[in-house]
């Protein structure tokens, strides 16, 4: 049962990645027909991603995406569920205040790299960007062995005019990427 559910969820995420949103939404609806907690989480999570991304047969709808991610956060409150809410909030116009509120809640839970990366994105894309704080968050994500942390740190350094520092991080990333892929695999590629 669990392996079948995992397979279906992975299939839905692959369909979303390929743009087949309607098919992924059908899988999400099948999850929601079941009453167990894990299936409900999978269904709402999948539906949230579908509405966030949009695709063939489904229009992008950030309000519906937020509603589904809210349901996930009510069933299973954790850092990841609030990071999803923050990510979608930042995509909405004027949603940065909501995003900060969700990030504050996410940071109350055990720290995950995705929360740090989301906070860095918040600082970078805010109406008044705080590049120093963004750089610190990217550095923290890099210390958590996330390639997005290295890329973000380099990007922020360039925006701040620190080209040599950016170049040094890019060179480090070139050498460390194969090592990270061997040690922790695809987790090194995870963004938020």
Instruction: Count other C-beta atoms under 10 Å from residue 112's C-beta.
Output: 18
146 burial (CB, 10 Å; 0-12 / 13-18 / 19+) is buried
Name the residue among 189, 92, 183 with its Cα closest to residue 148: 189
In the chain, % of residues over pLDDT 70: 95
Residue position matching structure tokens 């940065």: 96
What confidence score (pLDDT) does residue 95 get? 81
Q: How large is the greatest C-alpha to C-alpha distance in the chain, in angstroms?
A: 55
CA distances from 69 to 75, 116, 159, 166 (A): 10, 19, 32, 35
What confidence score (pLDDT) does residue 7 get? 86
CA distances from 84 to 10, 65, 73, 159 (A): 18, 9, 9, 26
Residue position matching structure tokens 């995003």: 99
Inform me whether the pLDDT recorded for 151 exceeds 80: yes
Q: How confident is the model at residue 192 (pLDDT cuts 50, 70, 90)?
A: low
Which sequence spans correspond to the domains of the chain? 1-76, 93-192
Name the residue among 114, 110, 112, 117 with its Cα closest to residue 152: 117
Q: How confident is the model at residue 190 (pLDDT cuts 50, 70, 90)?
A: low
Range in 44-48, 100-104, 158-162, 175-179 with the lowest mean pLDDT: 175-179
Distance CA 136, CA 126 (A): 16
Residue-wise pLDDT tens digits, 7-46: 888 999 999 999 999 999 999 999 999 989 999 999 999 9
What confidence score (pLDDT) does residue 1 get? 57
What confidence score (pLDDT) does residue 132 get? 98
The residue length of the chain stands at: 192
């Amino acid at each position: 049962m669990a392996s079948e559910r995992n397979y279906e969820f992975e299939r839905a995420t692959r369909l979303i990645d390929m743009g087949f949103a309607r098919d992924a939404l059908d899988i999400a609806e099948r999850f929601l027909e079941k009453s167990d907690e894990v299936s409900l989480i999978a269904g709402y999570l999948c539906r949230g991603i579908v509405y966030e991304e949009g695709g063939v047969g489904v229009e992008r709808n950030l309000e519906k995406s937020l509603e589904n991610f809210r349901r996930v956060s009510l069933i299973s409150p954790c850092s990841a569920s609030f990071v999803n809410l923050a990510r979608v909030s930042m995509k909405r116009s004027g949603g940065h205040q909501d995003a900060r509120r969700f990030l504050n809640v996410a940071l109350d839970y055990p720290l995950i790299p995705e929360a740090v990366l989301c906070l860095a994105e918040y600082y970078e894309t805010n109406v008044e960007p705080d590049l120093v704080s963004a750089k610190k968050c990217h550095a923290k994500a890099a210390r958590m062995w996330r390639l997005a942390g290295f890329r973000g740190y380099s990007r922020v350094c360039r925006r701040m005019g620190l080209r040599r520092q950016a170049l040094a991080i890019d060179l480090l990333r070139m050498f460390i990427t194969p090592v990270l892929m061997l040690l922790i695999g695809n987790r090194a590629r995870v963004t938020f």
